[in-house]
Amino acid sequence: MESKKKRYIKYLILGVLSAFIATYITQKKNATGKPREYAQIIHSGVLRVVTEYNSLSYYVDGDSISGFQYELAQAFAKAKGLRLEITPEMSFDKRLEGLSTGKYDIIAYNILVSSELKDSILLTSPIVLNKQILVQCKSRGNNDSIYIKNQLNLAHKTLHVVKGSPSILRIRNLSNEIGDTIYIKEVEKYGSEQLLAMVAHGDINYAVCDESIALASIDSFPQLDIHTDISFTQFYSWGVNKHSPVLFSNLNSWLKTFTKSKEYQRIYKKYYKD
């Protein structure tokens, strides 16, 4: 158990370092000022993709790169004869910004399909089903005033989320549903896995993240409770700039076919728990 925790901490440190290094190296090289269309991408031979560094989406272990989003993006790039250039970025806002400036062609991350995001980017056909959950420490008994038993107990509590996360809208709606205030603290420097670690170590009381990421990390933090839902199970997709409709059409067509294939099932089962 101890060695697994040390390995997990190593992944977190590598994630942050990779994000800083990749951002520094690619910032000037990739920013074109406007999004690229499919023909430009094919001509360049390079597909620029952004995702989050975590043990589910994209991570480096020794000399190898793994992750659900990475393998899916690699499969699309290979199908189109392109070299994949993938950048880890922890901030959801910066992923959107990079997409709008042409720094990235695709956001390969589980983006919650919402009417608000549909107004700003093109969202592909659903790739996975997921939901938002509350991360907290397990109850210490009946007198534990911090433990959240149900959504009504979220009144006047502060939930930490990744900056710009679509879960913010869901928390605001939930605040309206329970008829009381739920405070939101956006964290810019860290991703979902780092928020889990902060809750586990007592730095913060509550965080909200995708259930899939929590399930992938929970073995390293047995003191955590992830059984309180924040949202219903919903569709999650990838994002493309609205000024790249041909890229979107090609990606969407490929996804509709690929997600029905045995290869997709192999990749999915490799990273997602039941």
Indicate the domain borders of the chain: 2-129+235-271, 132-229
**85 neighbors 46 (Cβ within 8 angstroms):** yes
Which of 144-153, 208-217, 252-261 has the largest mean confidence? 252-261
Distances (CA, A) of 130 to 93, 146, 210: 20, 26, 7
Kindly report, residue by residue over 75-124, the tens digit of the pLDDT: 999 999 999 999 999 888 899 999 999 999 999 998 887 767 777 899 99
Write down the pTM of the prediction: 0.81
Q: Would you state the structure tokens that stand for residue 50, as one six-digit string?
A: 């952004």
The pLDDT assigned to 118 comes to 76
Q: Which SS3 state, helix, strand or coil, does residue 201 take?
A: coil
- 156 versus 18: the higher-pLDDT residue is 156
Mean pLDDT of 135-157: 91
d(CA 144, CA 152): 16
Number of H-type helices and E-type strands within the chain: 10, 13
The pLDDT assigned to 102 comes to 96
Whether residue 30 has pLDDT greater than 60 = no
Q: Can you identify the CATH homologous superfamily of domain 132-229? A: Periplasmic binding protein-like II (3.40.190.10)
What is the assigned CATH class of domain 2-129+235-271?
A: alpha beta
- Identical fold between 2-129+235-271 and 132-229: yes
